[in-house]
Chain A
Amino acid sequence: MKFLDYAPAPESQALLNLKSDYGLFINGDFTPGRGTPFQTINPATEQQIAMISTANEADVDAAVSAARHAYDGVWSRLSGSDRGKYLFRIARLVQERARELAVAETLDNGKPIKETRDVDIPLVAAWFFYYAGWADKLDHAGVGPNPAALGVAAQVIPWNFPLMMLAWKIAPALAAGNTVVLKPAETTSLTALLFAEILQQADLPAGVVNIITGDGSTGQTLVNHPGVNKVAFTGSTAVGRAIARSVAGTDKKLSLELGGKGANIVFDDAPIDQAVEGIVRGIFFNQGHVCCAGSRLLVQESIQDDVIDRLKRRMQTLRLGDPLDKNTDIGAINSAEQLARIRELSDLGQQEGAERWSTDCVIPTTGFWFAPTIFTNVSTSHRIARDEIFGPVLSVLTFRTPAEAIAKANNTPYGLSAGIWSDKGSRILAVADKLRAGVIWANTFNQFDPSSPFGGYKESGYGREGGRHGLSAYLKPAVRSGSRSIPAVEHTPQAVASAGKKSASASKKSASAEKAAK
């Protein structure tokens, strides 16, 4: 027997108490959707887990009006400290049911249990704890004294971190005093529905959070609904663009968290073994289904061979297989569709002349799997160096000088994340200063904390989540009765004429303020 063939150590599913059918969570209760239900499957086995409802237009309307009603009737009238109490309660319940949520997430998403257990679910609780503390301190959120909530927030989240993305969206929205209609991704609705049970347990007033399920068209109906004041979306750049287009011209506030093609820059004075760990964590964490993944490795030419050799050795110890096994490092790809995209792009990489290397792990016969893969000899013009693959595929590029590293790292339409590996603190700061990415990690990668704002440059989206910045995405400055008249007069030409110079300079001022805010 080989010791490294660790005996199976599967996490028990006994704690799970799933229903065979799930309805929509509207106004505090589960109700069947009026669209055609669909099945949610375990991507590791392709077995059905449960049937999920589809919300049609009428359901979306019901959810938005429930949220509006709860906003007007209850949530906007509660004090910040009372809202905080609910959030603390939710956070504690998430912790109490952490094991159950971790197993459900692993079943539904395909990611390894060690990640749901040690990363996803603890961060969900942390997010609620963090924003619970903010609920009665909104004066310090950076939008002036007595800021106001926006109203009803429509939130659409992706499948890569289902419950964590839900927490990133719901916690700040509720803390700021908004009510919510959230739509989880089609393939990963399960934990959002378990979360709805937690909301019932927490006795959250009906309608404050509504969870509706369905495919992209449900999401589209939701963001287009006229009763919505705020749209928050995390997902692909293509869908983000479509949402921006449909929201344009309305007074809905929008924040977008989109794709990325993060550069992980390894200088020749890097702590080499930790850099290799960081490269692995950067691209193989969550099967590479991470918008801020370090999918482009930029390694200094002088140490390329050594780094690649060490990386390959390390990758051979990655264990791909049953996501519920506590020793699994690489789980299943979330869907057949995503697997097809990863295959297509990596085949293209080979055709373009990059050198492909994958670990020799045994691929299970059912389910969706992709062996950890790296491409060397990649040029900046290759598709695999430009397109977001969203899978366990790393493109390795080289550089010779810091200036070249910065230029190559920035040479992407995206700008979500980057990593810098060097033992020299001054170099880290100098390079970080020139990288156009929202999150820059130094000598680490893929670390998340509720107090740290997260978001992108360029096609990676706009708006920040996490920290004080994440809170201000759900707030507006206090509406003071005295100042209200000024923007109102600007719209009537006659008033502009009569107000003369003063009004014109005021409007100029507000335009520049708006620019600064962007």
Chain B
Amino acid sequence: MTHSPLATYQPEQRALALIGGEATDANLRRYLHGIPGIDAVGLEARAADLGTRSIKTSSKRWAIDTIIGLIDLTTLEGADTPGKVRSLVAKALVPDPGDPGCPRVAAVCVYGDMVGAAVTALGSTHAAGGTDGTGVQGVRVAAVATAFPSGRASIAIKLADVRDAVAAGADEIDMVIDRGAFLAGRFGQVYDEIVAVKEACRRADGSFAHLKVILETGELNTYDNVRRASWLAILAGGDFIKTSTGKVAPAATLPVTLSMLEVVRDWHRLTGVRIGVKPAGGIRTSKDAIKYLVTVAETVGEEWLTPHLFRFGASSLLNDVLLQRQKMTTGHYSGPDYVTID
């Protein structure tokens, strides 16, 4: 496919060029409804088929380590404290105390008011996409914002929420879209909010915190809606599209993630720009996570299997992956007491 000049455009110019006018409800509606639909049965069958890939021996070993490096280790509880966050950070840096060769996770994901605690706990190992002093990949700090998880607050509150987290040192912002507005057809409002949040991600030095846009697919209900919301989020300048908050069931599923990966693939074909995907919530076992790796590799290509372009939003997944890793190293299954709780 030829990459059009769209690749060199700023997100807003690009959106204007694609939508063919201002981002009004009517223009966006015309654009989003012009995207080919999804046959739910076919999509689910394809996802199930990808789930039958048999990943063994050396491939499994590579997959396990890759999964660890793609995890956003998450704690999003009302009961979170700086102490809990310190513990999470320690786990993120040294997932398996018994094996110093175990890779670090990609990021820790916390509420906005815990960003400071996370940054402090990480110290020199906090790295915004780079490496720490020892040359090892640093761990990033991601903050959920915009009145997570419901998104039901005024735009002023949402933007203040984002600015606070960025000022406290967050490298990545996980925002939620206004699902109410989306389902009511107020696409322009959803678009404008994402643009505004992106702007609020700007740091004093002019750089931007990475923006992940949470669609909350469990509330969007249909794959067609998920596909349109994905396009909308990307058009508005999101760096990542993320399935869920983890607070609504169903959270991430393989078919939903596949449908979002297809959007990302099509966006790349169209503009040459790579967008990330983050399934979050409900992925608890290595076996499930490997199915996601396969789906990414066979849909958009394995160059997407890097923290810049793919993440798992998960908390309990890490320990199951570590158990599998120990099994592959030692040849024996251990048990839950051989991995640490964070």
Contact = CB atoms under 8 A, between A and B. Distances in A.
Contacts of A3: 59, 62-63, 66, 293, 297, 302, 305
Contacts of B168: none
Interface string B21-47: 000000000000000111101110110
B1 A9 contact: no
A407 to B, nearest CB: 25
Residue of B52, B55, B59 ringed by the most chain A CB atoms within 10 A: B59
Contacts of B60: 7
Interface in A83-105: none
A423 interface: yes
A271 B37 contact: yes
A273 B38 contact: yes
Interface in A1-49: 1-9
A447 to B, nearest CB: 9
B62 A423 contact: no
Nearest to B53: A327
Contacts of A270: 36
Given A273-B43, A274-B43, A444-B41, A7 B262 contact: no
Nearest to A442: B39
A507 interface: no
A277 B41 CA distance: 12
Interface residues of B, number: 28
Given A2-B302, A4-B298, A443 B39 contact: yes
B54 interface: yes
B58 A1 contact: yes
B56 interface: yes
Nearest to B42: A274
Contact of B59 (A6, A278, A309, A443): A6
B38 A271 contact: yes
A317 interface: yes
Contacts of A8: 56-57
Interface in B142-199: none
B70 to A, nearest CB: 12
Given A3-B305, A4-B298, A269 B56 contact: no
Interface string A297-317: 000000000000100000001
A269 B60 CA distance: 40
B298 A317 contact: yes
A271 B54 contact: no
B52 A423 contact: no
A9 B54 CA distance: 6
B45 A277 contact: yes
Contacts of B58: 1, 7
Contacts of A4: 297-298, 302
A451 to B, nearest CB: 18
Interface string B54-76: 11111110110010000000000
B25 to A, nearest CB: 23
Interface in A314-347: 317, 326-327
Contacts of A273: 36, 38, 42-43, 46, 262
A443 B57 contact: no
Contacts of B66: 3
Nearest to A114: B52
B41 A443 contact: yes
A123 B272 CA distance: 44
B147 to A, nearest CB: 34
Contact of B39 (A7, A114, A274, A317): A274
Interface residues of A, dominant DSSP:
loop
Interface in A268-301: 269-274, 277-278
A433 interface: no
A118 interface: yes
B36 A278 contact: no
B57 A7 contact: yes
A297 to B, nearest CB: 16
B302 A444 contact: no
A309 B1 contact: yes
Nearest to B58: A7
B290 to A, nearest CB: 10
A102 B58 CA distance: 26
Contacts of A274: 38-39, 42-43, 46
Contact of A277 (B1, B46, B297): B46
Given A1-B58, A273-B262, A317-B298, A6 B53 contact: yes
A22 to B, nearest CB: 31
A8 B42 CA distance: 28
A272 B39 CA distance: 9
Contact of B42 (A9, A277, A309): A277
Contacts of A118: 52
Contacts of B298: 4, 317
A7 B60 CA distance: 8
Contact of A9 (B56, B62, B305): B56
Contact of A271 (B36, B56, B297): B36
A7 B42 contact: no
A1 B298 CA distance: 16
Nearest to B258: A273
B62 A278 contact: no
Interface string B83-120: 00000000000000000000000000000000000000
Residue of B39, B45, B298 ringed by the most chain A CB atoms within 10 A: B39
A309 B45 CA distance: 22
Nearest to B259: A273
A270 B262 CA distance: 15
B73 to A, nearest CB: 22
A326 B51 CA distance: 12
A277 B36 CA distance: 14
Contacts of A272: 36
B97 to A, nearest CB: 28
Interface string A411-449: 000000000000100000000000000000001100000
B36 A269 contact: yes
Contacts of B53: 6, 326-327
A327 B66 CA distance: 20
Contact of B56 (A2, A7, A443): A7
A268 B56 CA distance: 40
B42 to A, nearest CB: 3
A3 B60 CA distance: 9
A145 to B, nearest CB: 39
25 contacts: A1-B62, A3-B62, A3-B66, A3-B297, A4-B298, A4-B302, A6-B53, A7-B55, A7-B58, A8-B57, A114-B52, A269-B36, A271-B36, A271-B37, A271-B42, A273-B36, A274-B38, A274-B42, A277-B42, A277-B46, A278-B42, A423-B36, A423-B39, A444-B39, A444-B42
Given A7-B56, A9-B56, 7 more contacts: A4-B297, A271-B39, A272-B36, A274-B39, A309-B1, A327-B53, A327-B54
Interface of B: 1, 36-39, 41-43, 45-46, 52-60, 62-63, 66, 262, 293, 297-298, 302, 305
Q: Which 5 A-B pairs have the closest CB atoms?
A: A274-B42, A9-B54, A326-B54, A271-B39, A7-B59
